[in-house]
Structure 1
């Protein structure tokens, strides 16, 4: 029996697509999402108050290296990263928290339960601040230098492994400049 060329076409197309998908899964740094903010000034977008607390966006250029962390009480990875943020705060890294699309009381309860590592905290009830920062989802953390320039973006929770491999080296490099 002769093999017809059209009979070979579906398996060839399937093999080609499978190869493309495998290459996309294992090639490059798939954990890192691009950010147009790297090397650019931090957005100067006002955040709302959370429990009578907030911060002026001008603090981004106050001369001090800092982290900006987008979080929510309903976010399970935010709960996982929280002890690591507390460790960084204890080490003297100022962290500014932006509570994303959350109920104010739930956010306050979250901080009361787990502790408050933030130098200041505000709320982004509408999600507008997150859009300006280019946030894909919570948690996301940005390293901002004293001039207000975004140096690093970390999508996902700040874990011990990412602290050691990316965040702490970036903080040390920024402080050495």
Structure 2
């Protein structure tokens, strides 16, 4: 008889355990995706640059060495990404403020990307073509847009998932960029 009474508490205990896990899950920040590359150099790459850009003479490929020397942003974008379109105007305003931004055109059509940059203006120092997504895999990209803060030595110091806008810039990215200057 005592075993039957104890058995009645099993559903209650199960509910309590599940409630604890659920509560813990709700307290997590869905945008806080860990990155294995934090405090590590930008992965090595050699990719073609979108030709519609104002590249230095003879620049046909880019590599991680070009990201060294100044604090910069590395922005993963694509024309198929609706959120990328929303953030694009703000990236242009950051360029006007002198913030160097490098682009990774992620799994996209080159012609569409060239048209995008021509019509919406180009916020990037240059943007590499990652048509097969290998650089994205090396960076640990979950999807576009994603933005990385790169220090003067080419090391990733922060990863932001989602669009960069005035609030994200002022509250999160700008303090990090300023601290690295």
What does residue 27 of structure 2 align with? 26
Q: List aligned pairs for 1:56-71, cutoff 5 A.
A: 56-57=62-63, 58-61=65-68, 63-71=69-77
> Do the aligned residues in 1 keep the contact of 2:42 with 2:139 (CA within 8 Å)?
yes
Deviations 1:86-122 (A, max 9, x none): 1111110111111000111221222223211011111
Give the gaps of 5 or more residues in structure 1.
Answer: none
**Poorly superposed stretches of 4+, deviation over 6 Å:** none
| Conservation of the 8 A alpha-carbon contact between 2:62 and 2:128 | no
TM-score (normalizing by structure 2) = 0.86
d(CA) in 1 for partners of 2:82 and 2:12? 41
Alignment partner, residue 45 of structure 1: 45
Tell me, which stretches of 5 or more residues in structure 2 are unaligned?
54-59
TM-score of the aligned structures, taking structure 1 as reference length: 0.87
Aligned-residue CA RMSD (Å): 2.0
Aligned to 2:57: none
CA separation in 2, counterparts of 1:15 and 1:80?
Answer: 42
Matched, 1:170 2:176: yes
Q: Where do 1:127-166 residues align within 5 Å?
A: 127-166=133-172
Length, aligned pairs only: 172
1:107 is paired with a residue whose SS is helix
Q: Distance in 1 between matches of 2:86 and 2:128?
A: 20
